[in-house]
Structure 1
Amino acid sequence: MELLKRFLSSMTVNERKDFAARCRTSWPFLRNIAYGYRLAGEKLCVSIEKESGGAVTRRDLRPDDWHEIWPELKGPPNA
């Protein structure tokens, strides 16, 4: 989850809290995902991808099973 960590570290604490709220979760939960303690659910992955403007994608957040959850994303990442 290094990409999510870097993305979040570029923000102030208040920006992180706002980002988490827009993703419909909490800042502590996002931090747990970024440090690998928790796994982001499918809906949260979509929210993070949307709210980050694609800087952090569903593929990044679920590298082991994204292709099973979102088979429509198969193919090159930027196709």
Structure 2
Amino acid sequence: MDLKTYIATERGRAVALAGRLGVSPSYLSQMANGKSPISPERCVDIWRETGGVVTREALRPDDWQRIWPELVEQPYKRRRDDPLVEQSGPSQVAHD
């Protein structure tokens, strides 16, 4: 799922995610709408804070293979057993 869709699907989700990321809701909106670039480090933060629902591939569709070559052999959606996806928190993890 892309970031714009993720924050639009539930009222208050953008404010909550922005708070967990330590950014303003307006900056999160700029990232979601492609007006501000998202660094690889921030992509990992977003991916973790969304429980893997917003993928690194969706956040950086043009260069994710170069940044995270280990993901090339893995399915698009991360599984719950992915060690980088925290199991606690309000977010749900995507399933295959």
Category of TM-score, reference length = shorter chain: 0.7 to 0.9
Check the 8 A contact 2:17/2:49 in 1, yes or no.
yes
Q: Distance in 2 between matches of 1:78 and 1:18?
A: 23
Cα root mean square deviation, aligned? 1.9
Unaligned runs of 5+ in 1: none
Q: Tell me which residue corresponds to 1:4.
A: 3
Between structures 1 and 2, the one with greater helix share: 1
Please identify, of 17-26 and 57-66, the stretch whose mean Cα deviation from structure 2 is larger.
Answer: 17-26
Alignment partner for residue 45 of structure 1, among 39, 43, 46?
A: 43
Q: TM-score, normalization: structure 1?
A: 0.81
Cα distance, 1:59 vs structure 2: 0.4
Q: Tell me which residue corresponds to 2:88.
A: none
- What per-residue deviation string (whole Å, max 9, x for no partner) do you get for residues 22-67 of structure 1? 1232211110111111111111100111111111111000000111
Q: Tell me which residue corresponds to 2:32.
A: 34
Q: How many residues are matched?
A: 77
Cα distance, 1:3 vs structure 2: 2.3
Q: Tell me which residue corresponds to 1:73.
A: 71
Q: Name the % identity.
A: 38
Unaligned runs of 5+ in 2: 79-96
